[in-house]
Amino acid sequence: MTTNYRVRKISARIKGKVYRTVVRPAMLYGLETVSLRKRQESELEVAELKMLSTLNFIPDRSRPGLTTTAIGTVYSQCTGGNWATVGRRSKGWRTVRRQRDKRKGKSVGLMIGTVNVGTMTGKGRELADMMERRKVDILCVQETRWKGSKARSIGAGFKLFYYGVDSKRNGVGVVLKEEFVRNVLEVKRVSDRVMTLQLEIEGVMLNVVSGYAPQVGCELEEKESFWSELDEVMESIPTGERVVIGAYFNGHVGEGNTGDEEVMGKFGVKERNLEGQMVVDFAKRMDMAVVNTYFQKREEHRVTYKSGGRSTQVDYILCRRGNLKELSDCKVVVGESVARQHRMVVCRMTLMVCKKKKRSEIEKKTKCRKLKKEECCAEFRQKLRQALGGQVVLPVTGNLQQK
């Protein structure tokens, strides 16, 4: 038998066979754990395992009754058939997580994104391949430049719901994975700049809004019309339903969040401009949160528009402040060629489906003892006569309860 406390590997030869035992530190808990690599339950005996008594083993005091020596630990593995690592809750987190999910219900994971495609002409299949490659389930698209209000398949198991008035400008849409198409309850095509899809996923109502804000050179009336349409959409959605907005707002919310901590984080890009202030004001007005700014990423994964020497952040994902905990890992996807200047913004969303409690139905009992009272008896006679249409003659005297 050789022992090396630094490497913490022990090998023993018993009856001509080599048994290897590894002693490794449990880094998360600061405890020593012992595991047996080779299963020979019939060969290992307590007397032969005494040669392992020289090992240093830190007992697990958090679990009463657990063996506190190397001999007892290995022997408990042999006799009990537990060949997994012995230590403080080696698989405890899985059990806790399963119990928590069982108590709260299951969760549904979604990958939601937004991108300004420039035009959808000739990009349908390319967009579908990108979504399949990046595992995106729902994608808001802007500046589609398609006229009409239709829904068509773009390949690879994805379907596009779009709306546009002019084939040369504007247009918005939402691309869904085929498995979520059957969950669509309603499609609201407000204008060629605002569009909403309502889905029901495992009993949870999810509203996906695609928006395309006017550019800097547009008139102020057009900008105010866009924000008023977006306000009306938000006001029409009940408070208990989830809302995710993927939009090209064409504004810079800026880096830092002094004074606006309740609606945005501090991981923006550059300085705030007038259009960016409109985004922040809208978030405050509708109790929303700018998801992009809450996750610390390098600047390359925060920039959504890059052309020449210019790099800005103009595409955003918004959600209700109360549901911000359901969104995670929001970042910009680089290296895609669907849009030359714009980049796709994606985030993970986990819908927690609450488990409905089953209510046991209690059978109603007939309280015949109340018929002993004259008032109740007279009322019962009247209702019974009305129910029978007045054709049955009820007894006038006697105990009605007995009859």
Top-confidence range, 162-171, 342-351, 380-389 = 342-351
Q: How many CB atoms lie within 10 A of CB 43?
A: 13
CB 67 within 8 A of CB 73: yes
Tell me how far apart the terminal alpha carbons of the chain are, to the nearest angstrom. 94
Mean pLDDT calculated for residue range 305-324:
92
155-193: burial string, b at 16+ Cβ within 10 Å, e else: ebebbbbbbbeeeeebbbbbbbbeebeeebeeeebbbbb
Please, are residues 138 and 181 in contact by the beta-carbon 8 Å criterion? no
Q: Does the CA dihedral 124-125-129-135 come out positive or negative?
A: positive
Per-residue pLDDT at 89: 41
Once rounded to an integer, what is the mean pLDDT over residues 126-138? 95
The stretches of 46-166 forming alpha helices (DSSP H) are: 70-80, 92-104, 124-134
Judge contact between 252 and 293, C-beta under 8 A: no
| C-alpha–C-alpha distance, residues 196 and 162, integer Å | 10
Q: Where are the domains of the chain?
A: 2-90, 110-352, 370-403
**R_g of the chain computed on alpha carbons:** 34
Higher pLDDT, 164 or 92: 164
CATH of 110-352, one of 3.60.10.10, 3.40.50.720, 3.30.70.520, 3.40.1650.10: 3.60.10.10
Average pLDDT over every residue of 74-81: 45
Nearest to 329 by CA among 303, 352, 348, 302: 348
Amino acid (1-letter code) at residue 230: L
Q: What does the alpha-carbon distance between residue 155 and residue 135 come to, in Å, rounded to a whole number?
A: 15
Choose between 72 and 135: higher pLDDT: 135
Q: How, if at all, do strands 310-312 and 305-307 pair?
A: antiparallel
Query: What confidence category does residue 284 fall into, taking pLDDT thresholds of 50, 70 and 90?
Result: very high
Q: Please say if the pLDDT value at position 223 is more than 50.
A: yes
Amino acid 59 reads P
- Looking only at the bridges linking them, the beta strands covering 107-116 and 138-142 are parallel
Q: Which contacts qualify for 229-233: CB closer than 8 Å, 24 or more apart?
A: 229/190, 229/191, 229/193, 229/194, 230/194, 230/282, 231/282, 231/285, 231/286, 232/190, 233/188, 233/190, 233/194, 233/196, 233/209
